[in-house]
Amino acid sequence: MKGKDKILIVDDEKINVAILTSYLIDNYDVITASNGEEALSIVKKEEPDLILLDVVMPGMDGFDVCRTIKHEYKLDFIPVIMLTALTSRDDHQKGIEVGADDFLKKPADRFELDKKITALLRIKEQHDSLLHDRNKAYEYLDYVGVLIAVLDKDYKLIHINKKGADILGYNRNNIINRDWIDLIVSESYADIVKTKCDFLLGEIMDEPECSEYPIMTITRKEKLFKWHYSILKDTRGNITNILMSGEDITEKRKDEIKLMEYAKKLQKSNEIKDLFTDVLRHDLLNPAGLIRSFTDLLQETETSEKQAYY
């Protein structure tokens, strides 16, 4: 069973920290920081469920702290409520740009604070649940015997299963967020693959049943793959990603080529055999025909005893 949600209060004024703590302590685990640098250290260590962040502080202000948490830290979604006495439109716009999820004017009203925290924690719970389901799905994909990759709308790789990473020879962590086409696709097929992806993302064409193109391993060895595509959409029906499954058909194609070459050789052998049979029949029948013709002629004419013997 999940315990209390953890809330980090970041404010350089002790009286504000004390008031907010008194509001929250009964329902939440409360941790505090008095400046931006301390807050960032605590965020990495504690990974709170929500942050109440003062804007005006010495050193790093709230905007810098929020920007760092949202854009530089590789953490799951953490809601940030900015506490500020600044009320201008530009300040709110700046807060939105750095990733703030909501704003609360100081001094904070207890009812409004509780309402905003409850709403954002509910959103975080839904987000965490979806993330858990996605991670479970990714774990299942690791047991599939084909390469599975998920690309974003800029062709960047956001997931690849273990089998796929093993086939390519890469460590998964080293290729996540890299351009799939530039990194993996054979140069001569790059434009073709980009066009297919653009058509899919723009819903210009239906998802193709399959296509074939070669990719390059970490050692730049070329492997031929057969690909199946699917588009992934969010709850609003907007396309978000491309899901690809690829089967290595390099050896299969080599075997097919060998089989075709063998079939051609077999056909040529049959043609030579037929030619030989025709020549043999012709060469055997010619003297036999001559013998029979002369025999018939001898039988049809008056013959001496010697001719009859011949």
DSSP codes of every residue in 44-84? HHH--SEEEEES--SSS-HHHHHHHHHHTS------EEEEE
Which among 139, 169, 186 is the end of a domain? Answer: 139
**Is the model more confident about 96 or about 26?**
26
Q: Following CA atoms 75, 76, 79, 84 in sequence, which dihedral angle do they give, to the nearest 10 degrees?
A: 10
CATH number for the domain harbouring residue 21: 3.40.50.2300
Q: Is residue 253 part of a domain?
A: no
**Is the model more confident about 242 or about 266?**
242
Which residues, other chains included, contact 155 with Cβ-Cβ below 8 Å and sequence gap of 6+? 179, 180, 181, 182, 194, 197
Q: Is residue 1 part of a domain?
A: no
Same domain, 154 and 234: yes
pLDDT at position 206: 59
Which among 218, 248, 278 is the end of a domain? Answer: 248
Same domain, 16 and 120: yes
To the nearest whole percent, how much of the chain has pLDDT over 90? 25
Q: Is residue 256 part of a domain?
A: no
Same domain, 24 and 114: yes
Same domain, 191 and 117: no
Q: Is residue 257 part of a domain?
A: no
Same domain, 152 and 134: no
Beta bridge partners of 244: 149, 229
Q: How many distinct structural domains can be found in the chain?
A: 3
Between CA 232 and CA 178, with CA 77 as vertex, the angle to 5 degrees is 55
Per the structure, the complete domain to which residue 168 belongs is given by 145-248
Q: Is residue 129 part of a domain?
A: yes
Q: Is residue 227 part of a domain?
A: yes
**Is the model more confident about 304 or about 36?**
36
Integer angstrom CA distances of residue 182 from 135, 185, 193, 231:
26, 6, 11, 21
pLDDT at position 310: 64
Say if residues 226 and 249 touch (Cβ distance below 8 Å).
yes
Same domain, 235 and 280: no
Same domain, 128 and 12: yes
Q: Which two tokens mark 2?
A: 């999940």
What is the pLDDT confidence band of residue 267, given thresholds at 50, 70 and 90?
confident
Which among 139, 171, 192 is the end of a domain? Answer: 139
Q: Is 40 helix (H, G, I), strand (E, B) or coil?
A: helix
What is the pLDDT confidence band of residue 42, given thresholds at 50, 70 and 90?
very high
Q: How much is the pTM?
A: 0.50
What confidence tens digit (pLDDT) does each residue in 196-255 have?
A: 888 888 876 555 557 888 889 999 888 988 888 888 887 778 888 888 888 888 887 787
When pLDDT is averaged across residues 87-113 and rounded to a whole number, the result is 85
Phi/psi at 75 (5° precision): -115, 165
Same domain, 18 and 130: yes
Say if residues 79 and 121 touch (Cβ distance below 8 Å).
yes
**Is the model more confident about 48 or about 298?**
48
